Copies of this chain bind each other. A is one copy, B any other.
């Protein structure tokens, strides 16, 4: 075998083992017996240790050095690039540091949960301080003199930089703040849904929505879980959803969001199965898929007209008079404390806040002890409301406790990318709204599959979006879309 073939064969087995580790995670969140937690911890540690050993195997370095890439296809060159990057990343971090990080973050999550329950930031601060110190140490090992935050960001959004995101987010922030103020001042925000929506009927309609958005049940399944998520790549991409008796939108839009993630994974070319190209290229591009399914398609006026009919069929008269009123209720804007419950506008303000704070922390410009004050000041400035308690503020998200610094901005980057894709898709599909009004998303999801999903990780994230759209991504299309949509909704 040539060095290239040996490398690819080794990589394929690593990909297969990675898929197994991912499925163990699915199992844990959906079907695992409660009493199996301790054993499962050892199982996860064992397979992660196998994966780490394979990803830092010195033979990878030898094979990579021996391969002449010039004669390879674009896809094979892309595979090599990703394997090299992973190898260099994994060998740069000392094993001792990696172990310390794994240990500290596994403890920290429990301490965070307890501190949140007790509204006690001080009980969490020393642990968070340790996690930050370890992540900064890791970032220093990766950055080789460069920016520490960028080194961490690269894990989630390859080739993005904090400076670039800062510029983009600075353009977003004032227009989003202005838009939310106009909407809230309009006095036209509707009441939320009232009444009860039987959960079995929610699940039945949720499954119908998944099918409507092209989810392939032959290569996936839907289960209930505490948190909705999508899991797996290739031929086995499973999603979860949840139900709340008084809030069917929670179920429906969680399902559509996760179908967006899953459709990306299911849409990748079969040729890339069990290779480094066989999955979504970054968190930001992944989020662009979940968001365009959920928002630009699922919360648009055309599709909500169809959904209104479906809900009338399933639940009878639920107190919303017509499709236009329903469209307003689906797109209700309120300035709540909680990111995961936020509307399309406030969501990004939540993310921008976290991005600025976590970047400062990693760059050593903000101390953990000063985090609550910084959070509360920024929240009041952007949301016009004072934070009432830590669980509604700095303690609300799990991310930092498990060491996820650099992850938050990919949520808004995903929205920005979704805005770009929506603009290009609308130009390519002039009749789209007429189809969506019939519950037919096939032209839209087909366009996304053809233009983006099939390529998996072939190109860099930014190139992936630019290739699909035909223009370089920027925040403009998202802002234009939001301003137009909400001006129409609230007669601004």
Which A positions have Cβ atoms within 8 angstroms of B?
Answer: 12-13, 16-17, 19-20, 23-24, 27, 31-40, 42-43, 45-47, 49-50, 216-221, 234-236, 238, 273-274
Please state the number of chain copies in the assembly: 2
Are B219 and A50 neighbours in the complex by a CB distance under 8 Å?
no
Are B35 and A218 neighbours in the complex by a CB distance under 8 Å?
yes
In the assembled complex, the CB of A77 is this many whole angstroms from the nearest CB of chain B, namely 23
Are A46 and B13 neighbours in the complex by a CB distance under 8 Å?
yes
The residue of chain B having its C-beta at the shortest distance from the C-beta of A42 within the complex is B16
A216 to B216, CA, bound (A): 35
Are A49 and B13 neighbours in the complex by a CB distance under 8 Å?
yes
Q: Find the residue from A20, A37, A238, A273 having the highest chain B CB count within 10 A.
A: A20
Are B33 and A47 neighbours in the complex by a CB distance under 8 Å?
no
- Sample (16) of A-B pairs whose CB atoms are under 8 Å apart: A13-B46, A16-B39, A17-B43, A17-B46, A20-B24, A23-B24, A23-B27, A31-B221, A32-B236, A33-B219, A33-B235, A33-B236, A36-B234, A39-B234, A40-B236, A50-B50
Are A45 and B33 neighbours in the complex by a CB distance under 8 Å?
no
Residues of chain B with a CB closer than 8 A to A20's CB:
20, 24, 43, 46-47
A33 to B222, CA, bound (A): 10
Extra contacts besides A16-B46, A17-B50 (17): CB < 8 Å: A17-B47, A19-B39, A20-B20, A20-B47, A23-B27, A27-B27, A32-B236, A33-B217, A33-B218, A33-B221, A35-B218, A39-B235, A39-B236, A39-B274, A40-B236, A42-B274, A50-B50
A42 to B24, CA, bound (A): 16
Are B43 and A235 neighbours in the complex by a CB distance under 8 Å?
no
Are A38 and B235 neighbours in the complex by a CB distance under 8 Å?
yes
Residues of chain B with a CB closer than 8 A to A24's CB:
20, 23
A23 to B34, CA, bound (A): 16
A220 to B39, CA, bound (A): 13
- A interface majority secondary structure: helix
The residue of chain B having its C-beta at the shortest distance from the C-beta of A233 within the complex is B39
Are B12 and A42 neighbours in the complex by a CB distance under 8 Å?
yes
In the assembled complex, the CB of A29 is this many whole angstroms from the nearest CB of chain B, namely 13
In the assembled complex, the CB of A115 is this many whole angstroms from the nearest CB of chain B, namely 28
Are B274 and A36 neighbours in the complex by a CB distance under 8 Å?
no
Are A16 and B38 neighbours in the complex by a CB distance under 8 Å?
no
Residues of chain B with a CB closer than 8 A to A43's CB:
16-17, 19-20
A17 to B50, CA, bound (A): 9
Residues of chain B with a CB closer than 8 A to A16's CB:
39, 42-43, 45-47
The residue of chain B having its C-beta at the shortest distance from the C-beta of A19 within the complex is B43
The residue of chain B having its C-beta at the shortest distance from the C-beta of A14 within the complex is B46
Closest 3 CB pairs of A and B: A16-B46, A36-B236, A35-B218
Q: Find the residue from A23, A32, A274 having the highest chain B CB count within 10 A.
A: A23
A20 to B17, CA, bound (A): 11
A24 to B40, CA, bound (A): 13
The residue of chain B having its C-beta at the shortest distance from the C-beta of A232 within the complex is B36
The residue of chain B having its C-beta at the shortest distance from the C-beta of A274 within the complex is B42
Residues of chain B with a CB closer than 8 A to A50's CB:
17, 50
Known: A17-B50, A20-B20. A220 touches B33 (CB 8 A): yes
Residues of chain B with a CB closer than 8 A to A46's CB:
13, 16-17, 20
A218 to B234, CA, bound (A): 32
The residue of chain B having its C-beta at the shortest distance from the C-beta of A20 within the complex is B43
Are B39 and A273 neighbours in the complex by a CB distance under 8 Å?
yes
A235 to B274, CA, bound (A): 31
In the assembled complex, the CB of A395 is this many whole angstroms from the nearest CB of chain B, namely 30
Residues of chain B with a CB closer than 8 A to A218's CB:
33-35
Residues of chain B with a CB closer than 8 A to A37's CB:
235
A274 to B47, CA, bound (A): 14
